[in-house]
Structure 1
Amino acid sequence: MRTLVTTAILLITFISLFTARPALAADSAVGAKIFSANCAACHMKGGNAVNPAKTLKKEALAQYSKDTLDAIVAQVTNGKAAMPAFKSKLNADQIESVAMYVLEKAEQGW
């Protein structure tokens, strides 16, 4: 019986070690702080002070194909139209954190 329990524990440990996904460096809570410091002036409560049609609301993100982490990361990194690029101001982890925050808030309805 003891051997069976030991074997089961070792098997579970082995499986968890080799199938665990790596932790993401990005963090939505960090993204909230970065958003507040860099984005909220134009995007308060998920709005858009420059172009009111292009908000950060879930429907608008989907309409403009910006409803994925990769799309938001690209937008924040490279900018577009009136939105400036943040690639020289924020590092990749910070940009991904902001993107995670935006997606999370859009899902919650801002």
Structure 2
Amino acid sequence: MSKVFFALCIYILLNILDISGYLCLASDIQAGEQIFSANCAACHAGGNNAIMPDKTLKKDVLEENGMNNLSAITTQVTNGKNAMPAFGGRLAEEDIDNVANYVLTQAEQGW
């Protein structure tokens, strides 16, 4: 089986199952931590939420709110929502991807 055919099969499978948003793609978790510290920690230190205490970044709360995947977190960081400002004009796409992966990693580890 050729590598191109194999890659195409994986791509099709991910799109059919629509699980691509749940995968931690190649990212720089350390860069994500730095971005989080500089831009997010004022409101979300330790995975908490200083503005809306019931909307934390803890694993169970992310799951309850449908925010336990890269796609949802990336959209939230990029566009903002409620009291959270949009970072799409402030952070590069790669930075947003890195911070989204960092948040998911930390949620899995219990912050």
Same fold (TM over 0.5): yes
Matches within 5 A, 1:23-102: 26-102=27-103
- Aligned equivalents of 2:92, 2:6: Cα separation in 1: 28
After superposition, the C-alpha distances for 1:16-53 in whole angstroms (9 at most, x for unaligned) are: xx968xxx663111000000000000000000000000
Equivalent residue, structure 2, for 1:9: none
Residue type of the partner of 1:82? Answer: A
Moved over 3 A (4+): none
- Aligned equivalents of 1:74, 1:50: Cα separation in 2: 19
After superposition, the C-alpha distances for 1:56-90 in whole angstroms (9 at most, x for unaligned) are: 00000001100000000000000000000000100
- Aligned equivalents of 2:30, 2:104: Cα separation in 1: 12
% of aligned pairs identical? 57
- Are the counterparts in 2 of residues 25 and 93 from structure 1 also a CA contact under 8 Å? no
Number of equivalenced pairs: 95
Residue type of the partner of 1:37? Answer: A
Gaps of 5+ in 1: 1-13
TM-score by length of 2: 0.77
Q: Please tell me whether Structure 1 or Structure 2 has the larger radius of gyration of its CA atoms.
A: 1
- Are the counterparts in 2 of residues 46 and 57 from structure 1 also a CA contact under 8 Å? yes
| Local SS of the residue matching 1:62 | helix
